[in-house]
Amino acid sequence: MEKVDKLIESLRDEVISLRREIHMFPETAFEEYRTSDLVFGYLKNLALSSVRKVNKTGVVADLLVDNPKGTVLLRADMDALPIQEEVEAPYRSKIDGKMHACGHDAHTAMLLVAAKVLSEIKDELDYNVKFVFQPSEEHAPGGAIGMIEEGVLENPKVDFAFATHVDGFSKAGIISTKSGVMTAEADSFKITILGYGGHGAYPHKTVDPILIASHIVIALQSIVSREVDPLEPAVVSIGKITSGDVFNVIPERGELFGTVRTLKREVAEFISSRITDISMHIANSLRGKVVVDYNFGYLPLCNNELTTDYIKKIGELMSGKSMFRNPPSPWEVRICPIFYKKSQGHFTGLEC
């Protein structure tokens, strides 16, 4: 650890520089060409066994050792968000409407430097290391599926997979993880409301999509509060409403966009069906129509107990017990390893 600490400390300025370079040129899902080239070029200069591009803009590098006990995969995401950066800083985004607001620039920079550190102590490693830089984490179905389909988990076969995410709500140095369910499934939905437009002075001659949308927004909040078991965490949130062009004309259509967060797929499926039913019945009662487009996200992250305990020990070794945090669980969860199954053309993690 002392040798690793010294190597990391010597690269402090380098990781900061890499992160700021990536931050200045954010690229959204499957548009990470500049970032991909930066990652590929950096890795090609290291003592790695192979470096290749996968699934459009993804990058994978292998560090193979003699007589390995197995293979460890380390993963970072690379894409930015379609958000305008307002913060004034020398390294602020130079691309209008795009920003690294979720820390993927930091993830990529940290994994690049981790690759450099591990390549320099290659002879002391017992495991192969596969470095995976994933595109399109923010946009469903995400870039991981394509990378898996192109064989990123094989040759050599991956035994353990680790990923980190920066956390703006914790103090620097805090390491937080737990075995079992760690983070929620994140689904998205769009409700298109079809009405009949007209002048605002003659509402009786119209079918008002804004009125229908308003009733739907309020009604959807009853799903979690009145239809989901109180011991099953769930969230339904509307994040965007669009309709109309001017103040005195009732438009023909409106759109609602929202997200559902759950810790069990069966809860997500129930909420999805209720969103559709409620929206359709409200629209029908007010003489309108709706089209509901619901997209299921990845299943909840479920951490393997063995690997979680290992991370805890490493975290305590590096930062001390006081710097390790084990988030409380909403209920007792069963521990499960990470597997994948092919379902309806997509790879999804198995539930615990």
**Which position among 32, 79, 185, 187 bears the catalytic label?**
79
- Residue (of 271, 253, 150) closest to 194 by Cα position: 253
| Nearest to 265, CA basis, from 290, 297, 240, 303 | 297
**Longest CA pairwise span in the chain (Å):** 80
> How many CA within 13 A on the CB side of residue 166?
17
Q: Give the separation between CA 97 and CA 112, rounded to whole angstroms.
A: 26
Q: Kindly state the tokens that stand for 211.
A: 């009125």
Coil/strand/helix, residue 180? strand
- Find out whether 5 and 122 touch, Cβ atoms under 8 Å: no
Q: Which amino acid is at 123?
A: D
CA–CA distance, 195 with 79 (Å, rounded to integer)? 37
Token match 């950066």: residue?
85
Question: Sign of dihedral through CA atoms 45, 53, 97, 214?
Answer: negative
The question of whether 79 is a catalytic residue gets the answer: yes
User: Residues 295, 232, 103, CA angle at the centre, nearest 5°?
Assistant: 55
88 catalytic per annotation: no
Angle CA 7–137–309, to nearest 5: 55
Indicate which residue of 32, 85, 137, 187 is catalytic: 137
Catalytic positions, written as ranges: 79, 137
